Amino acid sequence: MEIYLVEVFDYDLVIVGSGLAGLRAAIEAARIGKGKLRIAIIAKNQLMRPHSISAEGGSAAVLYMDEGDSFDLHAYDTIKGSDYLCDQDVVEFFVRQCPIDILELEHWGIPWARRNDGRIAQRPFGGHSYPRATFAADRTGFYEIHTLYDTLLKYDNVDKFHEQFVYDFLIENNRFRGVVAFDIPTGQIRIFKARAGIVATGGLGRLYGYTTYSHLVTGDGLAIALRRGMKLKDIEFVQFHPTGLVPSGILITEGVRGDGGILRNAKGERFMEKYAPTKKDLAPRDIVSRSMMTEILEGRGFKGPGGLDYLLLDFSPIGAEKIKEKLSQVREIGAHYVGIDPLDSPLPVRPSAHYTMGGIDVTHTGFTGVTGLWAAGETACLSIHGSNRLGANSTSECVVFGKVAGEDSAKWLLTNSNSVDLSEGDKKYAENFLADAYRDKGDYDPYEIKRELWTTMDKDAYVFRNENGLTEGLKIIRGLIEKSGKISISEKGNVYNQNLIASLEMKNLVELAEVVVKGALERKESRGSHFRTDYPTRDDDNYLKHTIARRADGALNISYVPVTLTKWKPEPRVY
């Protein structure tokens, strides 16, 4: 294949990622800039096909204080759900901003579901003490993305770049200068020179084989940040959604249980009553996932394909008309992927990797510590979710803090007249990086490395963890990191080279897997989504603190920083 540099683009702000956070950041930066800022938004896929469209159930917000909800109640639910690892000052800001942004989406045209009185409808979600998940049937993320994209079209100073694979950031003397990418349809190399950037590339869910994530979500921004010496925070906390469809892992929304659906074991029992007597099937996700796996491991599950034993999600208490109105997409998923209409029979489910609670360590505005660089959405860790995220808080977070990062970066650009210069060395680096990626350096198959990674993570870093499994997993992962530098790429062409993309994604994943497993190994307690069978209790004396991972001189170092508490002190999580 021929390696060549096509073009250098020159912008004030470049946003990497077109999910909820990236789109919302672009809108706000354009609004604040009032035409004075040149903005680019870059997507690995088509801009309207980010993983955010897969969000189904809702976006949390306090809309009805006249009916008993409150900001303090939303904050308390979030903090308790996080197992007290979230930073409470940021949570308090978040819950007050959510309704503002939900209503803003309303004014931009999103078709929120309605109550009989015409006001916006909300459904119950796990761990929330009030039904505050604002929803649009079971396609909430889809409608949010379309609404934001349509709104972005109002701003003619935002250029949109589809199918661009970003493989590095240009940073010199702790100052952001742009991103390096290649155009997937042609293989042509591009440098997006920029005075500021926002990373909104999502989480790292494809570390796991059994996951609700689309194949897009390979932790690209997180891995680049790690290689560039930035801090990653609380990465060991990976959420497992209780109801991934067996055998694919595809998400079956928590909205099913919010609307009345229940989990049953192989004996037909509604088992959640014994694990969470008050909340039952709507306990927080970490508790429901552990309860489900306990039922399976103790022999009360159904035998599934490839070892994916499962339980049943029973829709019958919801009623046919309500299912047709509010859960139509879930019906389509059941019929298409397992040949089951939930109107007729329960769906087979088990916990599936679903969300990254950790991310790039940032301030409350999304600032990364690198001059001119912000992060937002699942890529960033503002410590809202702590060790366990409540359902419906993620899409709200993306919109709220995408807006904040867009505003902060735009204001910074308008008050800083700094310029960015590129050198021939930058161009040569961009060319050499990709040329080196194509070069055969061994016989290992990148797809086989990824399959081995999936097997390891699904076994050793799943719902239940222990020292032996994590130690063995870390050993395997470090071997995979070594192998990832000795691969061959069979496809040599420029046009849509999926083998090249897969190899770069694989390298990102194996490096992030080391962070997840090392952080989990060193956290000798159980908290939220991180449950150690050899340390089954929460240890506030030693681990009420955030994990910070940073790579320096080739070594991965783990340290800790305090959790910010305001008025809610840690207490037992009883549901």
**pLDDT score recorded for residue 438:** 86
- Cα 158 to Cα 512: distance, rounded to the nearest angstrom: 32
Q: Interior CA angle at 339 toward 334 and 340, to 5°?
A: 55
- Cα 251 to Cα 259: distance, rounded to the nearest angstrom: 16
pLDDT confidence tier of residue 38, bands split at 50, 70 and 90: very high
The arithmetic mean of pLDDT across residues 280-309, rounded, is: 97
- Given a cut of 90, whether residue 3 has pLDDT beyond it is no
- Residues 416-445 have pLDDT tens digits of 988 898 888 898 999 999 888 888 899 999
- Which ranges constitute the DSSP H helices of 82-219? 88-108, 140-152
Secondary structure class of 245 (helix, strand, coil): strand
DSSP class of 299: T
pTM for the whole structure:
0.97
- Cα 136 to Cα 113: distance, rounded to the nearest angstrom: 5
* pLDDT over 90, % of the chain: 94
Which residues sit opposite 194 in a β-bridge? 11
**pLDDT score recorded for residue 383:** 97
**pLDDT score recorded for residue 1:** 58
Q: Where are the domains of the chain?
A: 243-351, 437-544
pLDDT confidence tier of residue 43, bands split at 50, 70 and 90: very high
- Tell me the one-letter amino acid at 285: R
* pLDDT over 70, % of the chain: 99
Question: 176 with 198: CB under 8 angstroms?
Answer: no
Mean pLDDT of the chain: 96
- Residues 333-366 have pLDDT tens digits of 999 999 999 999 999 999 999 999 999 999 999 9
- Given a cut of 70, whether residue 37 has pLDDT beyond it is yes
The arithmetic mean of pLDDT across residues 169-179, rounded, is: 96
- Residues 505-557 have pLDDT tens digits of 999 999 999 999 999 999 999 999 999 999 999 999 999 999 999 999 889 99
Q: How many helices (H) and strands (E) does the chain have?
A: 16, 21
Report the 10 Å Cβ neighbour count for 347.
Answer: 25
- Given a cut of 70, whether residue 463 has pLDDT beyond it is yes
- Residues 476-492 have pLDDT tens digits of 999 999 999 999 998 98
- Fold held by 243-351: Flavocytochrome C3; Chain A, domain 1 (3.90.700)
- Fold held by 437-544: Methane Monooxygenase Hydroxylase; Chain G, domain 1 (1.20.58)
**pLDDT score recorded for residue 418:** 86
- Given a cut of 80, whether residue 4 has pLDDT beyond it is no
- Residues 557-575 have pLDDT tens digits of 999 999 999 999 999 999 9
- Residues 384-418 have pLDDT tens digits of 999 999 999 999 999 999 999 999 999 999 999 88
Strands 39-42 and 5-16: parallel
The arithmetic mean of pLDDT across residues 37-47, rounded, is: 97
Residues assigned a catalytic role: 241, 257
**pLDDT score recorded for residue 424:** 85
The arithmetic mean of pLDDT across residues 315-334, rounded, is: 95
